């Protein structure tokens, strides 16, 4: 196959940042995706429906034809009044739970998940999806085990106690997460990133630390990579595309405490296409990228189409933002697929 035309996909997990960074990166996503679930972990987190509206307006001012699907940062400001506003909003599609300290701008996140159960109950009642960064923040737990421990300590309890609460287990990175989602009810789903199906921890650590491959959840063993890839290729509607594309300036990545996150947005669909093609599963790409996420969020499927062609393309070495730069994921590498020009 030398070309592939699919329903235009949605990115169900995206970081756009704000200001000049947002202005610079939004079109990389809009060129490939009709909609995206936009994460709320800005430096001043999106904790209310009013803040979500302001952020939505900012995104639309830079890219009017793109549809951002907004989320709320789980915080102490959530109460019944705010939950009703979220339920009635036409632009908000979930609440994102960050355990405090697990990733970028999560310092204002949740310290005790057990204390959140009354909010989970109200979310279940109002059919508001719960999006979870599923890692514990316990410093005594090895960083490679934090996803599994989160399942054992928290996610099992949440999904059992609130069986009708729609839960998205974000950017899964382990076989444990894959198995948990498969065994769970139809109200449990998961997003899968390009980095967690293309790489394992050798790509981060072997031959020297590769800061532009550093993300959270951190890349795991090859066996976990293969399990996550298998989930993406499976055709199981519980697994759908979410890039977790997260731009950071080069000097923030290449530093003594490099920021977590890879910027995959400019070449996201060619990356997914390459992995599905290499595994003889191109027919599974459209539902994974374009159907399953929309269905889980109870959204209509897009009408527009996206054309990919099997033609070599090289990932840019860097992307300029004013006088600084962002290094994209797989910078300088060659991909087998590219987006067809209009």
Catalytic residue set: 244
Q: Is 337 exposed, middle or buried (0-12, 13-18, 19+ CB in 10 A)?
A: buried
Interacting residues of 137 by C-beta distance below 8 A, sequence separation 6+: 99, 100, 101, 102, 146
Place of tokens 């300088």: 332
Instruction: Tell me the H-state helices in the chain.
Output: 19-30, 49-62, 80-88, 117-126, 146-150, 156-161, 175-183, 194-198, 202-205, 222-233, 250-253, 268-278, 285-286, 292-296
Range 159-172 burial, b when 16+ CB lie within 10 A, else e? beebeebbbbbbbb
Rounded CA separation 94/237 (Å): 19
Per the CB < 8 A criterion, the answer to whether 150 and 216 are in contact is: no
Phi, psi of 34 (to 5 degrees): -80, -35
Instruction: Tell me the H-state helices in 170-267.
Output: 175-183, 194-198, 202-205, 222-233, 250-253
Nearest CA among 231, 243, 222, 251 for reference residue 330: 243
Rounded CA separation 156/163 (Å): 11
């Amino acid at each position: 196959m030398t070309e592939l035309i699919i329903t235009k996909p949605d990115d169900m997990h995206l970081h756009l940042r704000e200001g000049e960074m947002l202005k610079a990166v939004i079109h990389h996503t809009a060129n490939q995706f009709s909609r995206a679930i936009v994460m709320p972990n800005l430096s001043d987190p999106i904790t209310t429906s009013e803040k979500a509206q302001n952020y939505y307006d900012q995104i639309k001012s830079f890219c009017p034809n793109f549809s951002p699907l907004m989320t709320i940062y789980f915080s102490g400001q959530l109460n019944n009044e705010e939950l009703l506003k979220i339920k009635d909003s036409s632009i908000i599609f979930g609440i994102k739970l960050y355990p405090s300290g697990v990733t970028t701008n999560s310092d204002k996140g949740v310290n005790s998940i057990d204390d959140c159960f009354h909010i989970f109950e109200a979310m279940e009642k109002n059919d508001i999806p719960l999006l979870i960064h599923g890692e514990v923040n316990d410093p005594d737990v090895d960083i490679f085990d934090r996803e599994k421990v989160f399942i054992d300590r928290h996610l099992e309890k949440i999904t059992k106690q609130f069986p009708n609460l729609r839960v998205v287990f974000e950017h899964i990175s382990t076989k444990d997460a894959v198995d948990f989602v498969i065994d769970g009810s139809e109200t449990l789903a998961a997003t899968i990133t390009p980095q967690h199906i293309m790489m394992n921890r050798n790509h981060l650590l072997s031959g020297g630390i590769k800061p532009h491959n550093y993300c959270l959840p951190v890349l795991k063993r090859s066996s976990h990579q293969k399990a996550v890839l298998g989930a993406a290729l499976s055709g199981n509607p519980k697994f759908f595309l979410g890039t977790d594309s997260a731009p950071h300036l080069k000097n923030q990545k290449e530093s003594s405490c490099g920021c977590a996150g890879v910027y995959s947005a400019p070449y996201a669909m060619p990356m997914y296409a390459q992995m599905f093609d290499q595994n003889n599963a191109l027919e599974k790409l459209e539902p994974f990228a374009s159907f399953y996420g929309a269905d889980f969020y109870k959204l209509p499927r897009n009408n527009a189409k996206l054309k990919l062609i099997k033609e070599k393309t090289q990932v840019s070495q860097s992307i300029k933002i004013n006088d600084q730069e962002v290094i994209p994921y797989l910078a300088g590498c060659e991909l087998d697929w590219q987006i067809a020009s209009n």
